[in-house]
Copies of this chain bind each other. A is one copy, B any other.
Amino acid sequence: MNNPLVENYFRVDKLPHIWCPGCGHGIIMSAIARAIEKSGLDKDKVCIVSGIGCSSRAPGYMDFNTLHTTHGRALAFATGVKLANPELEVIVIAGDGDLSAIGGNHLIHAARRNINLTTICFNNNIYGMTGGQYSPTTATGDKGTTAPYGNIDRPFDITQLAAGAGATYAAKATVYHVNQLQKYIEAAIGHKGFSMVEAVSVCPTYYGRKNKKGSAVDMMNWLKDSFVDMKIAEKMPEKAVGKFVMGEYVNKVEPEYTELYDQVIERLKG
């Protein structure tokens, strides 16, 4: 038998998925499905859009209107889908490379417009699909196949970046902290306006190996130890020293793009 969640929201004939053993992406995909279930969305009215990457394979497994686009462009395609048919709940799945390297511009502009898209960034700090090159979120000093002597770039904090560009909802959690992750995704789906959840993932195959981070479990343990909840960090800053902060970075209400557009249409009718 299958998990009812899987039966309801996945294309069972496409499973098991192709991701490596212990790849965090599966955990995120399952959290998204559960969040969609909790949100009570009509499958026919959900559209999942991705670019290209390991993460971007997710839509192929999920039983909605799914759109696997070109590398980096998911948000641009999604903007067209959403504006053309605001009835659709549009969820964008994108890797850290997809979203913040080649797709960085679409991210900041979608955020700026506050268009009602929900973006889930599968951030494994590496280009998984192409075999382990450093990405814009690879930590300084870490290795990638194109950073054999250690990365000299500074990494983006994608959640901060989205928030800085105008996202009205931006949150971060890890595949270890899967309860929170699911909660934020649910909140993001419910949010009207541009929302992004950075799901910190693990890529044992490339990131793990290149950087001697051990097994998938070792990497999950590292997430457990390295991230601290924003509320705790605020209350007990000493607990947050040297750690990454997760939580809801922004959550505010501002006019949403497709609604504003509909108002223009209404005004012209009147």
Which positions in A face B, CB cutoff 8 Å? Answer: 101-102, 104-105, 108-109, 112-114, 136, 149-150, 152-156, 160-161, 163-166, 254-255, 257, 260-261, 264, 267-268
List 19 A-B pairs, Cβ < 8 Å. A101-B109, A102-B105, A104-B104, A104-B105, A104-B109, A108-B108, A108-B156, A108-B161, A109-B136, A112-B154, A113-B153, A113-B154, A150-B264, A152-B255, A152-B257, A154-B166, A154-B254, A156-B166, A161-B165
The distance in angstroms between the C-alpha atoms of A166 and B35, with both chains bound, is 33
- A160, B164: Cβ atoms closer than 8 Å: yes
Oligomer copy total: 2
Contact B149 A267 (CB under 8 A): yes
**Residues in B whose Cβ lies below 8 Å from that of A156:** 108, 112, 165-166
Q: Which residues of chain B are within 8 angstroms of A112 by Cβ–Cβ distance?
A: 136, 153-156
A152 to B115, CA, bound (A): 11
Selected from B149, B155, B163, B257, the residue in CB contact (under 8 A) with A268 is B149
- Considering only CB atoms, which chain B residue lies closest to A254 in the complex? B154
Q: How far is the CB of A182 from chain B (nearest CB, A)?
A: 27
B residues less than 8 Å from A153 (CB atoms): 112-113, 257
User: Which residues of B lie under 8 Å from residue A152 when comparing CB positions?
Assistant: 255, 257, 260-261, 264
